[in-house]
Amino acid sequence: MDFDVIIAGCGPVGAMLAAELRLHDVRVLVLEKDTEPTSFARIVGLHIRSLELLAMRGLLDRVRARGRQRPAGAYFAAIDKPAPPGVDSAHAYLLGIPQPVLVDLLEEHTIALGAQVRRGLAVTGFDQDDDGVTVELTDGQRLRARYLVGCDGARSTVRKLLGVGFPGEPARNWTLMGEMEIGVAPEEVGTAMREAARRDRRFMVMPAGPGVYRVIVPAADSGAPPTIEEFRQRLEEFAGTDFAVHSPRWLSRFGDATRLADSYRVGRVLLAGDAAHIHPPIGGQGLNLGIQDAFNLGWKLAGQVAGWAPETLLDTYQAERHPVAADVLDNTRAQTALLADEPGARAARRLLTELMDIDEVNRRLLDKITAIGVRYDLGTDHDLVGRRLPDADVTGGRLYDLLHRGRGLLLDRTGKLTADGWTDRVDRLTDPVAALEVPALLLRPDGHVAWIGDDQVELVGHLARWFGDRTP
């Protein structure tokens, strides 16, 4: 085999997946069709759960230093409500960061861990058999790998070649978005924006940095790349002024297509990120959903390559992540409906705005948007099992600092339990004073709780379920 895993696409999802695999010494090649990193400086938002995952790998400080923090809240359908009190996270904020900066940081990280990244190459075909996948590249090369993962975006070549269905709704509404300078006074911007936003809630002009504004305005699907002239025309139509916009930083056009792949895996070929799901950017969930795919898949695929993974472990990738994506698609459909300019939608929005004054309602919506409410069905009634574990104080530091290597963790407050036989895959911390209300727990590499209890026999069963056979 030339490689253990070939990844198509070196965006945030592909780079993050490669880094997760390299933590387990998997031989990884990442292919990126663009010869140079994009200079398209679109700002993306990292929500609470993604920030927690980056903290688990020791990456958050580097990423946070290049971004801008905003208070949590006002995510759902852009309804202006603060976050509910008592959000259980050390990272209860939104981090805005230019997407090229995030990609560069993650690519540097994965290369430092030993992954190969080759630019100017893309997948044009592949054949798989019982032992691996033969991948054809744009330059005529044929490479052999045990697995291929398509992280190549909404128009994924890998998904299309795989023949996986991508059902859903096509785009019906289109929107222009960009960052640019404005040649009128801020007071004029505010007045015109408030008036135009009453007619269409997709319209927005807001500060995005010194002298720079983010502009969002409904548009037609012309099939052509957006231009500053088109922005001026649409602004004139919606606001009665073009705000004398000039000097664009970046311009984009997006639709409200909503689709979910029928399957995330066919044999030795898998999908992640936008290759598996697309939806409108309302709530800023798409990038986060893809990064969380990578964290869920990485350790499972690494276990398959290494040979210790239980037979069904890789199947849990789709079983766990497909329902999460379906829920995200549903909440973006709901948000889109709430933004419509018709009496029923306006009435529903007024009602939800009132209901969000109830902390429990506000918290449920925040949990959805930020993914801290995700619970995988692991077949137990204990409420914490299947959920993510927030960071906590442990002897000598913080819990997330113990997860930098991407391994499982047995956190034992009883001092009586052991992970002997799995120490090549699972770390152990005996800590009677850990800030937890359970006797012991088994934490998966993606930060989700796999087991809670104090019985060694039960623990052994769950170690085998998630980390394979005991090492002699």
Averages of pLDDT over runs of 10 residues in the chain (472 residues) are 96 98 98 78 88 98 95 84 92 93 96 97 97 97 98 97 97 89 84 69 79 87 85 90 91 91 98 97 93 98 97 97 98 92 91 96 95 95 94 91 97 96 96 86 98 97 97 85
- Quote the pLDDT of residue 190: 77
Quote the pLDDT of residue 365. 96
Question: Helix, strand, or coil here: 447?
Answer: coil
Half-sphere exposure of 33 (CA within 13 A, CB side): 15
Distance in angstroms (rounded) separating the CA atoms of residues 179 and 207? 9
* Alpha-carbon distances of 155 from 128, 166, 261, 278, 401, rounded to whole Å: 21, 10, 12, 10, 37
* pTM (two decimals): 0.93
Q: What are phi and psi of 408, to 5 degrees?
A: -70, 165
Element (DSSP H or E) covering residue 179? strand 174-181
Domains of the chain, CATH where assigned: 3-168+259-343 (3.50.50.60), 174-255 (3.30.70.2450), 393-467 (3.40.30.120)
pLDDT of residue 80: 86
Question: For residue 142, what pLDDT is reported?
Answer: 98
3-state secondary structure 380-443: CCCCCCCEECCCCEECCEEHHHHHCCCCEEEEECCCCCCCCCCCCCEEEEECCCCCCCCCEEEE
Instruction: Return the exposure string of 44-73: e unless at least 16 CB atoms fall within 10 Å of the residue's CB, then b.
Output: bbbbbbbbbbbbbbebbeebbeebeeeebb
Query: Which token pair is 40?
Result: 């398209």
Q: Which long-range contacts (CB under 8 A, 24 or more apart) does 192-200 make?
A: 192/239, 192/240, 192/241, 192/243, 193/239, 195/239, 196/238, 196/239, 196/240, 199/238, 199/341, 200/238, 200/341
Assess contact for 91 and 55: CB atoms under 8 A.
yes
